[in-house]
Amino acid sequence: MLIAMAEHLELPRPWRLTLTASWNLAESLGLPVAGYLLGERFGGRGAGMIVATGVVWLTVLGRKIFTSGVPGLLTISALVLTLQTAVVLITGSVLFFLLQFPLANLGLCLLFARTAPTRKPLVAQLAAEVVALRHPSHHVGLHKFFQGATWLWAGIFALSTIGMSVLLAVESTKVFLLLTTAVTIGGVVAGTALSALWFVRVLRRFGLKVRFSQG
């Protein structure tokens, strides 16, 4: 316990933290969305999906060449977009276009669940990449938290998959899209809040402190 109390977690200074998080979100979400809007404007829905997927995989390639590593959030974005694009192009129907949303959540559920019991749970990877959180990797309490939080997100995406599937079966297209947006935002907000509260409890329990780096 004395060893645990002497340890701490480290975050970049606020401006660098903001820059790191913004950059990760921009390349994983912003660039694909911009690509979709551009492609959709000139070539329709299918073209938009193709351009968005092409943009995200070019970003992956660029990361691989120039940094020798691909962030987990970018990998997730690439895999989900590829799945969605395949569904849209292969089927060409409105029903299967809508089916991409629960399928994407199912894919995320399986991805989080696959890493949860391992030594590198996905939440720990995302915390290190998106906000540059540094923590003692050997700390048993933190490791269990990251595993549990990864299971939590797997459960949230599983519930979202079920909810979207039910909505797809009983609601019109317009209502489905509106409620899907609400379900997605609600799930992300709930998951983030629960993870944050859980994280604070873990810090207090083990006497860990978070400080900003000096660099």
Pairing state between β 8-11 and 209-212: parallel
| 3-class DSSP state of 67 | coil
- Helix 122-130 × helix 140-170 angle, to 10°: 100
Domain count, the chain: 1
pLDDT score for 93: 64
Q: Which residues of 101-119 are buried (b: 16+ CB within 10 A; e: fewer)?
A: bbbbbbbbbebbbebbeee
CB atoms within 10 A of CB 184: 17
Mean pLDDT value across the chain: 82
Query: By the 8 A CB rule, do 72 and 107 touch?
Result: no
Predicted local distance difference test score (pLDDT) of residue 6: 44
Tokens of 47: 């073209």
pTM of the model: 0.73
Residue numbers of the domain that contains 157: 2-212
Residue-wise pLDDT tens digits, 101-148: 888 888 889 989 999 999 889 898 888 877 777 776 678 888 899 999
User: In this model, does residue 57 exceed pLDDT 90?
Assistant: yes
